Amino acid sequence: MSEGEPQTTSEAGAVLARLGLSDLRPVYQPVVDLRDGRVVGYEALVRGGPASPLESPAELFAAARTEHVVAEFDAACREAAVRGFDLAGAGPFALFVNAAADTLDDTAELLQPARNTVVIEITEQALVSRPDTLLRALTRFRSQGWGVALDDVGADSRALALMSLLYPDVIKLDLGRLQERRPEDVARVVGAVGAESERRQASVLAEGIDSEEQLAAARVCGAQLGQGYLLGEPAPLPGTLPEPGRALRLTSSGGDPAGDNPYRRVTNWKRPARGSRELAERTAGLIVCQAAALGESAVVLVAYPDEGHAGAAEVAELRELAGRLAFVGVLGAPAHLAHGGGIRTGPLLAEDTMRGTWTVIALGPGLAACFVAQEASDGDYELATSYDRDLVVESALLIMARLAPLGPPAPR
């Protein structure tokens, strides 16, 4: 078999057994309600079993990646975690499980309906790497009753920019990474997370609570839930489980990367104005300037009517912005605006409903703006702008879902 060639299920199983990756020992770290100290759930973590020469998660995943069986190993980890949870009768508790960013599509395909509250943890990197795959996977997760947690918030400003697009049920603050940042950065992160959690009715979970000082910091940050060595180490589930605390509530909401194009969404409720192309360009430029003012925690998404629309000045501005913002994505880009260099591009197919319309979106903490326009028969433009956050996020999903991945999918 050549390197990187997909393997059959039986071949992958043989590889897992040969490497000792089928002998897994799940351990569980409690997730505690900081308001009353009761356990509401457990995060499942994987360790090598007695027959495995490998112990740590890093070693296990490195071996799986080398042999191109990450998807199968990832599934085996989840199966072991769920099986151990079921055998212990832990149904009243929420189960948090992890998924490798490059196997989310496989994870979603293998997904079974949740028998209890199951929350899958992802990072913003999964959205950056393969937006089409992730958004499709999230829809499937939620259709099966699974929740979604955004992990490692505080480690990277991109998480703040992309948080709204993931519709998280749980937002996990990384206290260790947060404490390494400047006080003004911490305040910005905490404010953005607090606003998003209230908007979506999501729970805030502080991870890395290993001391009384960090427990106090978690409470200062407004976390309702906590996780860390002070509250409980990763270990096999106890023979006698604690009395469960408040049940974790999922938001039951998620974005749909399909449906009407942004122009129709905005103009369905807001009557468009009419003006020249110069007026339309100035209006679109104002939206971009708002993102530039926000800096590294902002996203700019653009969909041009066709590949010949953008001029040299617009292309130069997007290239410059790509070095300063969290993310820049462009549909219908001119051929010389290459995929890469900080800019993500995607094609507009001939039958795409977005073709013929112009959209510019700026999104980030405290910012949600969407400009839309369509050329009229006399050469003028019908244009409108919306600052309704829900509408802007829904429109942004339509563009993100059409962007090309960073690279080819991981071999199976």
The per-residue pLDDT for 211 is 96
pLDDT (mean) for 119-145: 84
The per-residue pLDDT for 168 is 93
Which residues, in sequence order, are CB contacts of 187 under 8 Å at separation 6+?
none
The two structure tokens encoding residue 305 = 């009517």
Lowest-confidence region among 49-58, 229-238, 306-315: 49-58
d(CA 38, CA 243): 7
CB 41 within 8 A of CB 93: yes
List, for residues 63-99, the tens digit of each pLDDT value.
Answer: 777 766 677 777 777 888 888 888 888 878 999 998 7
Strands of the sheet with 327-331, listed across from one edge? 273-275, 381-386, 367-375, 357-364, 299-303, 327-331, 343-346
List, for residues 235-282, the tens digit of each pLDDT value.
Answer: 999 989 999 999 999 886 777 778 899 999 999 999 999 999 999 999
Lowest-confidence region among 5-9, 66-70, 140-144, 318-322: 5-9
d(CA 221, CA 241): 29
Q: Closest Cα to residue 360, out of 349, 348, 373? A: 373
Q: Quick check: 402 pLDDT over 60?
A: yes
Q: Quick check: 6 pLDDT over 50?
A: no
Taking every pair of C-alpha atoms in the chain, what is the biggest distance, in angstroms? 76
**Residue 60 vs residue 263, higher pLDDT:** 263
User: Quick one: what percent of the chain has pLDDT higher than 90?
Assistant: 51
Which residues, in sequence order, are CB contacts of 148 under 8 Å at separation 6+?
119, 120, 122, 138, 141, 142, 166, 167, 168, 169, 170, 254
**Residue 335 vs residue 263, higher pLDDT:** 263
d(CA 94, CA 116): 7
pLDDT (mean) for 219-234: 96
pLDDT (mean) for 15-36: 77
The per-residue pLDDT for 412 is 31
d(CA 266, CA 260): 10
The per-residue pLDDT for 287 is 96
Sequence letter at residue 21: L
Local structure of 144: helix, strand or coil: coil
**Residue 55 vs residue 264, higher pLDDT:** 264
Tell me the range of 119-133, 184-198, 322-336 where mean pLDDT is highest: 184-198
How sure is the predictor about 106, in pLDDT bands with cuts at 50, 70 and 90? low
Which residues, in sequence order, are CB contacts of 46 under 8 Å at separation 6+?
24, 25, 26, 27, 57, 60, 77, 80, 81
